[in-house]
Structures are given as structure tokens and as C-alpha cells.
Amino acid sequence: MRKDFLLNYQQTILGPLWLLFQPLLTLATYILVFNKLIGVSTGALPPVLFYLSGIVLWNFFNDTFLSTSFVFRENAQIFSKVYFPRLIIPFSQLGTQFLRFAIQFIMLLAMIAYYVVMKDYAFPVTFLIVTLPVTIVLVGLTGLALGLTFSVVTAKYRDIVNLVTFGVRLLMFLTPVLYPVNFVPAEVRWVVQFNPLTSYFELFRLSLLGEGVISPMNVGYSVGVTFLLLIISLLVFNKQGDKLIDVV
């Protein structure tokens, strides 16, 4: 896991500092485009905290999904030469992405602290704070489950790689990263709420920042979808593993 983390930043000027610069550059872009130009309201939350919280959590999901989606393609030689439980690789990827998330999450907490001290932001502390770690784990498991499933597909069909990358970008626009759920018109809000990530992002902001729209039914739906996807993906990954070694 440590090796994977360091390899990502070899032969780069800033090294691991990119972990901080990337979300900050993205944050500046989102504020300029969506908050200033388009006029997307972030409600009672400061735009910086709203967008940064979404960026940090989305990066965790996105990086977990993409890093596990190509497990067979990128580790074909290892899988064919050495026998070991193949699930070790995707779970190690999940661990690596969690480490990246933890660093960015600390930056988010530092930004919240700045707003509390310098901007008199009233930081809400409610019982929902206990759901924060659970929400983070569920987002990681959702990315892992989808990644395991698509790792089988990308191993068989190489041209699917571009479709996977495009698809996850499209999914971001159906997830409340750039906007709060209540910004979506009521007649089409069901489309966003059909996405299991929606409840997680809203619960993440609600538990951490005190702003979010959730319901027990929507959260239960998201948790159910996550575990269903995880069970299916584990079965597919284990069943197809041996067959794919000769295909990749």
C-alpha cells in the first residue's frame, strides 16, 4: 500500500503535495464556474466548505473505482505467475485511496477550523457525527464494488476502458458534488436520488457541516444497493478470475 502511494508521485515536481493542490485547484474552478457564473446556491454553507467537502469525498470514490477497475489488466503478469488471493490487490488499492482521502480530509478539517476561527462560522456538532466514519466506509465500498465488477469487463474488452472513464465523469453530475439536492427541480430529483451515492454525500455534509437533505428510506436504499453490489462483485470477481488470466 505504501509502495502504491509513493509510486503515484514519482518523477513529479510537487510529489505528494499534488494531493493538496489538486482539490484546491478543483475548488477554485468550481467556485468560479458553478457558484459565481452559474449561480448555484450552497445554502447556509460557505461555498468553499460545500465544494471542498464534495471534492474530497468524490476523489475517494472516483480513485477507488478507477484503481480497481483495471486490476486484471494492470496485474496480469503477477496473476499468471504467482498464485495468491487476487482480492488482495483491489483491497490494497482501497487502502491506498483511503490514505489519500485521509490526507485530503485533514485539509478539509483545517479549512473548517479556519472558518470557525477567522470567519465566525458556527460549526455544528450533532449526534450525526457518529455516522461520518460509516458514511466514508460505505463510499469506499461502493467504489470497490463497482470497480471489481468493471475489472472483469475491462479485462475482456479493452475498448471499454474509455467508456468507464467517461461514465464515472458523467456519474459525478448525477451526484451532489457540485450542487445540493434541493437545488434540483422536484420533478427530476428522483433521478439524482436513484444514485446510491447521493445519500452518502448528503449525509457526509450533514454530519460534518450540518447541511444536507436525507431520509431514512433513502439512506437504507443506498446501503442496500452498496451491499448488493459488493456481494455480486465479489462473486463475479472470484468466479471469473481464473478464466480471465488467459484472456488478458
Residue 132 and residue 183: Cα distance in Å, rounded?
A: 23
pLDDT of residue 8: 57
Residue 62 and residue 69: Cα distance in Å, rounded?
A: 10
- One-letter amino acid for residue 103 of the chain: I
Q: Say what the alpha-carbon torsion angle 21, 34, 60, 207 is, to the nearest 10 degrees.
A: 110
- Tell me, what DSSP letter sits at residue 102? H
Backbone angles phi, psi at 231, to 5 degrees: -65, -45
Residue 224 and residue 34: Cα distance in Å, rounded?
A: 32
All 3 cell numbers of residue 236?
Answer: 463475479
pLDDT of residue 71: 82
Of 15 and 93, the structure prediction assigns the larger pLDDT to 93
pLDDT band with cut points at 50, 70 and 90 for residue 32:
very high
Q: Residue 201, CB half-sphere, CA atoms under 13 Å: how many? A: 29
pLDDT band with cut points at 50, 70 and 90 for residue 244:
low
- Could you read off the pLDDT of 170-200 as tens digits, one per residue? 999 999 999 999 889 989 999 999 999 999 9
pLDDT of residue 200: 98
Mean pLDDT of 112-119: 91
Residue 12 has pLDDT above 60, yes or no: no
pLDDT band with cut points at 50, 70 and 90 for residue 160:
confident
Of 159 and 148, the structure prediction assigns the larger pLDDT to 148
Mean pLDDT of 124-140: 92
All 3 cell numbers of residue 171?
Answer: 456519474
Q: Tell which residue, 51, 29, 18, has the closest CA to residue 180.
A: 51
Q: Give the Cα-Cα-Cα angle 30, 36, 42 (nearest 5 degrees).
A: 70
pTM: 0.90
Residue 51 has pLDDT above 60, yes or no: yes
Residue 34 and residue 54: Cα distance in Å, rounded?
A: 13
User: For the purposes of burial, counting CB atoms within 10 Å of the CB of 225, is it exposed (0-12), middle (13-18) or buried (19 or more)?
Assistant: middle
- Could you read off the pLDDT of 52-71 as tens digits, one per residue? 999 999 999 999 999 999 88
Query: Exposure pattern of 71-98 as b/e (b: 16+ CB <10 Å)?
Result: bbebebeebeeeeeebeebbebbbebbb
Name the average pLDDT for the chain. Answer: 87
Which stretch of 69-73, 105-109, 201-205, 221-225 has the lowest confidence by average pLDDT? 69-73
Mean pLDDT of 98-102: 95
Residue 71 and residue 233: Cα distance in Å, rounded?
A: 13
